[in-house]
Amino acid sequence: MENTILNCDAVKFLGGGYISKQVDLLLTDPPYNVSRENNFQTMWSAARVWMDFGEWDKWFNQKEWIRYLPLILKENANVVIFNAWENLKDIKDACYESNITIKRCLVLNKSNPAPFNRDRMFVNDVEFALWGIYNSKNKPTKRTFNRKNPVEKCVFDTTVQSSKLHPTMKDIKVIKHLVELLSNEWDLVLDPFMWSWTTAVACKELWRRFIGSEIDPKYVEIANRRLEETEFIQQQRLF
């Protein structure tokens, strides 16, 4: 099973036996549990009044899904998990319990952050990701790291996506860079929180296989349209 997305809960997908010890790279952006109301309408665009993304971003268990990863990861597979700084310790602890050794904390440096409470505190212009290596004996050895620059820094310049298909959509340039760094052509990349399929689009453009899940059928439909557009562009390039 590859190059597909299942319309189901991530935990059911990971523990459902769909794949076993086949994944070379896990690259995902689970819910952060940061949704809340605010008075942003007095400050900027009415389109960005709320930071209430939905119920899915309020009570998500940050640890439960990670416990299933040893069932699907290859030895020395790369793991990248985006999240808010408040959740990083829980994610790190869950990774440790699942034989994933965290190597670095990556930072997304946003050039156009939302100016919440700008007169009272520092603007929140960063997001984070933990990068680690899975090894069943907790002794990661050879792993994929395809350096593209003289040095690969932990800070990635990015922007808040203005043309969003999902309220927490990631910059595809960052996702493509991570896919290139941490996997090889025809490797299998997993994203159990596909949202708008940015990970899948990056994989398709870079000749990686992908698999994932998404619980909301609305985003599955959006994802299928994006993938069709990507396939059409690729076909045009071949001729």
Answer for the pair 55, 143: CB distance below 8 angstroms, yes or no.
Answer: no
Task: Point out the least confidently predicted range of 162-171, 174-183, 189-198, 202-211.
Answer: 162-171
> Residue written as tokens 């990701």?
129
- pLDDT tens track for 63-87: 999 999 999 999 999 999 999 999 9
Structure tokens given for 205: 């453009």
- 155-158 and 4-6 strand pairing: unpaired
Domains of the chain, residue spans: 4-238
> What dotted CATH number matches 4-238?
3.40.50.150
Residue 168: pLDDT band with limits 50, 70, 90: low
Write out the E strands in 36-117.
73-83, 100-110
**Res 238: pLDDT:** 52
- pLDDT tens track for 194-215: 876 789 889 999 999 999 888 8
- Alpha helices per DSSP H over the chain: 10-14, 88-97, 172-182, 198-205, 217-238
Residue 5: pLDDT band with limits 50, 70, 90: confident
CA gap 168, 209 in Å, rounded: 23
**Res 164: pLDDT:** 58
Residue 54: pLDDT band with limits 50, 70, 90: low
For 70, half-sphere exposure in the C-beta direction (CA atoms, 13 angstrom radius) is 14
- Give, in order, the Cα–Cα distances in Å from 228 to each of 28, 102, 172, 201: 21, 35, 16, 10
Residue 116 above 80 pLDDT? no
With residue 126 as reference, give the H or E element that holds it: strand 126-134
**Res 233: pLDDT:** 54
- pLDDT tens track for 121-139: 898 889 999 999 999 988 8
Give the amino acid at 152: E
With residue 25 as reference, give the H or E element that holds it: strand 23-28
**Res 112: pLDDT:** 82
CA gap 65, 68 in Å, rounded: 6
Answer for the pair 229, 165: CB distance below 8 angstroms, yes or no.
Answer: no
**Res 235: pLDDT:** 53
